[in-house]
Every structure is written in structure tokens, then in C-alpha cells.
Amino acid sequence: MAQGEKIIGIDLGTTNSVVAVMEGQKPKVIANAEGN
């Protein structure tokens, strides 16, 4: 992976969905408008 590139993960669930971005060795969940 080139310097500065980001890795994201997307989970499209039937009730809930979530997006996260890798920060170092840990994923960080990106909150939606409701804070989830």
C-alpha cells in the first residue's frame, strides 16, 4: 500500500450498517448522524 492511502471497511447489514477506517493497526468506526 502506498504512503497516505486509506483502508475502509463497509458492513451492509439488514438492520444496521457500519463504516470504519483503519488508523494504524485499529479500525475506527465512523459515526452517522445519530452518533452510531
Rounded to whole angstroms, the Cα distance separating 2 from 34 reads 33
pLDDT tens for each residue of the chain, 36 residues long: 677 788 999 999 989 899 999 998 899 999 988 877
Give the DSSP letter of residue 3. T
- Strands (E) in 1-36, as ranges, are 8-12, 17-23, 26-29
All structural domains of the chain with their residue ranges: 1-35
- The predicted pLDDT at position 18 comes to 94
Rounded to whole angstroms, the Cα distance separating 34 from 9 reads 20
- The predicted pLDDT at position 4 comes to 78
